[in-house]
Amino acid sequence: MDQNAGFLALNAGSSSLKVALFPATGDEPLVTGQAERIGPEGTMKLRDAEGNALPLAEGDLTSHAGALAVVIATVKQAFPDLTMAAVGHRVVHGGLDFSQPVLVDENILRKLSELEPFAPLHQPHNIAGIRAAMAAFPGVPQVACFDTAFHRGQPFVNDTFAIPHRYYEAGVRRYGFHGLSYDYVTGELERIAPHLMAGRVVVAHLGNGASMCAIYKGKSVASSMGFSALDGLPMGTRCGQIDPGVLLYMLDREGMDTAQIRQVLYNESGLRGLSNDMRTLEAADNAASHRAIDYFVFRVQRELDALAAVMGGVDALVFCGGIGENSRVIRRRVCERLGWMGIEIDHGRNAENATILSSEFSRTTVMIVNTREDLVIARAARAAAGITEGTRA
């Protein structure tokens, strides 16, 4: 393979765009960074392999498309001799059809667009990113990697809702999300602690988007998220679990339409609805911040209990994601009062963000694994380039 070849991994979130540029071989990227709080207050930082900030190309960060244009222009500016071999994209929803990474063409894009109602906060941005990359790199394979794919083999009882079966046949199912993160974490556990992967693991992906997954013998058997990326834990701006009666109340009593309800549930709820984002909450010391953190911790503990019950116990609890990897407070609070589950953390290790957090007396291993969704995407892009080298996606 051309040693000047590059593989771009793009991960468009609800208000962010993460990017990593990988060389022809190796797991360490040439460029990493992200745009955050995309919109009027959007910011972007891109760094090279040594951690030096790259000068950004001109552009605006008021939209995901604009942020991606800045990324692509900056990469071309920093690496003029680089030949883009493939671009990998995180796509939140793969529906019933996609359980593996796939090369994108117009037919695939049409199918992905049909899933936009399932993930309105993410899917349009994912598709826009693919189209922008196709325009920037004509003829280069574009590879879609699906967050739902990791969960597609779950048992029926964790795949359905207790509503008329025709909805299940139409695709109204519990899909689960954050699959790229869970894919990486399970791979790392298989590498560093295979005895744990042979048993019962709960992974807590805690960040602006948050979910938890029960993994039994390396396979997803239950997830806190369901049909959409709204369910389960409270998130940065998303509500998490909610009684459907609340939605009926909004419709009937407040006269809201579906667009207004969608705006509330996806953009005005979660930690923002309760108070603020987690970084601000931890820095604050007031009643509102305490309530928001208390609720977040309570929901994580409740989901952990439920997922452990699915597997008949838990051998390991793994934290990942921005909050899971960096918040000593949240990890400590989550693990409090879980001694009955065999969980006891070493507070010194927790303060140091050590890989193993559990104490020597803990029956359950508690760990941090720094997730690498970008690497999962890049590996899929490399595989596609190897298979399809010289062809047009």
Candidates 320, 244, 326; CA nearest to 277 is: 326
Q: Nearest-5° angle of CA 341, CA 325, CA 303?
A: 40
Q: Find the radius of gyration of the CA atoms of the chain.
A: 21
Give Cβ neighbours of residue 363 (< 8 Å, ≥ 6 apart): 342, 343
Maximum alpha-carbon separation in the chain: 63
Instruction: Please give the single-letter amino acid code of residue 295.
Output: Y
Q: Which of 48, 60, 97, 147 is catalytic?
A: 147
Candidates 237, 171, 181; CA nearest to 212 is: 181
Query: Does 183 qualify as catalytic in the annotation?
Result: no
Strand 365-368 with 316-320, pairing: parallel
**CA–CA distance from 112 to each of 97, 134, 370 (Å)?**
10, 15, 29
Q: 8, 133 in Cβ contact below 8 A?
A: yes
Active-site residue set: 147
